[in-house]
Amino acid sequence: MVERQLRGRGIYDERVLAAMLEIPREEFMPESSRKFAYADDPAPIGYGQTISQPYMVALMAQCLELEGTETVLEVGGGCGYHAAVLAAVAARVISMELIPELAEMAQQNLEKTGRGGNVLVVCGDGAQGCPALAPFEAISVAAAAEEVPPALLEQLKEGGRLVIPVGGAWDQELRVIHKQGGEITSRVATYCRFVPLR
């Protein structure tokens, strides 16, 4: 997976590659989906949600340009895999998940894989961010919004980056938003398809 799907497709951040080499993706997936753990595809995790394609997890983490000192807000925590990857390359991760059962699953998965030490799983509406713990040096959103939620822009620290899929159900752009000097700039990293942000 790491050599062909990630490094072979242009993922160059060695810390992200090392994290994805070390973290057992199958341990974050239901038994019925584990045979697809290292396929280059999203996979169902229940409740109408998916674990993101490995390439997309790696690309999003790389786009945040993390150095290891940051506090990251993750929106759409799902089964906890993306939080585990982010936690390996950042100081702390606040992982928000709207569906209580998935938030509990994420917590259990992080604990059983020994990856939960610097992750706080919060059950709540990630589109509103987490004002009590803001601001954040980086924000990663694993669900598509029709437009960037204003609360997330407000909670992004000066100099920080926000990675978010933006668009409708079938036509989305993975945007990398940078907040610097009071200005908001945005670029498109790739095109993608995520479940909707609710």
Cα(53)–Cα(5) distance, integer angstroms: 10
Question: Is 52 tagged catalytic?
Answer: yes
Cα(65)–Cα(74) distance, integer angstroms: 15
> Which tokens hold the place of 85?
């990857």
**Three-class secondary structure assignment of 42-95:** CEEEECCEEECCHHHHHHHHHHCCCCCCCEEEEECCCCCHHHHHHHHHCCEEEE
Residue identified by tokens 């993101």 is 52
Active-site residue among 33, 52, 95, 140? 52
The sign one gets for the Cα dihedral 112, 134, 130, 15 is negative
Please identify every residue annotated as catalytic: 52
